[in-house]
Amino acid sequence: MNWTNDISRLLNIKYPIIQAPMFGVTSPEMVAATLNADCLGSLALADLSADKCIEAIRAAKKLSDKHFAANIFAHKIPEITEDLRAQYAKTKAFIKQLASQYNLEVEVPNIEEIKLNSYHEQIDAIIEEDCKIVSFTFGNLDQQSIDKLKGKGIILIGTCTSVQEAIILEKSGIDVVCVQGLEAGGHRGSFSSEDIPQISGLSLLAQVRDAINVPIIYAGGIYDAKTLRASQILGASGFQIGSLLLASSESMLKDFEKERLRKVKESEIILTKSFSGRFARGIKNIFIQATENSDYILPYPYQNKITSGLRSVARSSKNPDFVNIWVGQSINNYSGASTTEIIKKLIIDTESSHN
């Protein structure tokens, strides 16, 4: 199989395989291990402050001199209204009551104590640290930010979950579009956090390929040679893997979370807003069941911040019922090998299946 294509040339990698940016899972070591496999590592910066972004970028740079993608969130921050304050107070009381019911002692901040960071300050940090590739999700960057990054020669990768979103990204000058299917683990990359497009990946990929001309990375359900080849046949020239790396030796998941993954059944994987206020795919647990379809879900990122302490306490006490374990619908054996080994096996298997 000839791996050389528009994505491998643009991103200067031997194999057009991209490690998904998974905040809370991706470590600088995972990024470096991906780069060691001659693929593209993605450093998940989420909505970290500029200082924290610089810290993470430098940690990854210490481990490899190859370029990786810095991944950020492009969401809009809702303003604090009286209605939001009232809803926040109700959700705070609910979380404290639920935690105490399960003997978890948790501190929940007041709404005024929450620090929210916009992607604009992250962009300045990324430029300052001389990153060459920026990927983003939860929307599109504003035109001024796009022009600023492209003016520095930075390659931009945007995420879409519908044909319409893909067209918007291409029209605004984004270099590569990452098509995310509904089966993908973790957060949906949709521009909206409400009525998200629920389109399965391969259907979406084929339609996006017909609608735009820029190179496409496909994300959602790739876990072996067959799924990678299927996405290639339908028009992807880049292949993003996430769930396949969740239990790798470089993953930041705790051992108890990796064990829970290995026991997961297809009926336990759910799309939920419970933990963050944005739809994400992961393993159903007590917190999700108690919160789903309730009045205790704030808009993103407030829900994400208000549940942060609970998740931290649950992680410390190895309690899988109050942590978010994001995973896609393609269940696999969740190998504990190194990221480099897992990716190399995928490459070898794909080459063998092509012969």
Residue 202 lies in a domain: yes
Average pLDDT over residues 122-126: 96
276 lies in the same domain as 348 = no
Task: Tell me the pLDDT tens digit for each residue of 135-179.
Answer: 999 999 999 999 999 999 999 999 999 999 999 999 999 999 999
56-62 long-range contacts (CB < 8 A, ≥24 apart) are 56/28, 57/125, 57/126, 57/129, 57/131, 58/129, 59/28, 60/28, 60/31, 60/32, 61/129, 62/28
232 lies in the same domain as 278 = no
Residue 65 lies in a domain: yes
Cis status, amide bond into 301, omega within 30 of 0: yes
Average pLDDT over residues 17-35: 98
Residue 331 lies in a domain: no
Q: Domain of 38: which CATH number?
A: 3.20.20.70
Residue 257 lies in a domain: no
The amino acid at 350 = T
280 lies in the same domain as 294 = yes
Task: Tell me the pLDDT tens digit for each residue of 304-354.
Answer: 999 999 999 999 999 999 999 999 999 999 999 999 999 999 999 999 986
The structural domain count of the chain equals 2
> What mean pLDDT, rounded, does the chain reach?
96
Give the domain extent around 299. Answer: 78-115+265-326
Residue environment code for 211-249, b if the CB has 16+ CB neighbours within 10 A, otherwise e: ebebbbbbbbbbbbbebbbbbbebbbbbbbbbbbbbbbb
Residues 6+ apart with CB under 8 A from 143: 172
What is the layout of strands, in order, in the sheet containing 238-241?
A: 17-19, 238-241, 216-219, 176-180, 155-160, 133-137, 69-73, 42-46
Task: Tell me the pLDDT tens digit for each residue of 189-207.
Answer: 999 988 899 999 999 999 9
Average pLDDT over residues 259-277: 97
What is the Cα–Cα distance from 255 to 58, expressed in whole angstroms?
27
Residue 258 lies in a domain: no
212 lies in the same domain as 296 = no
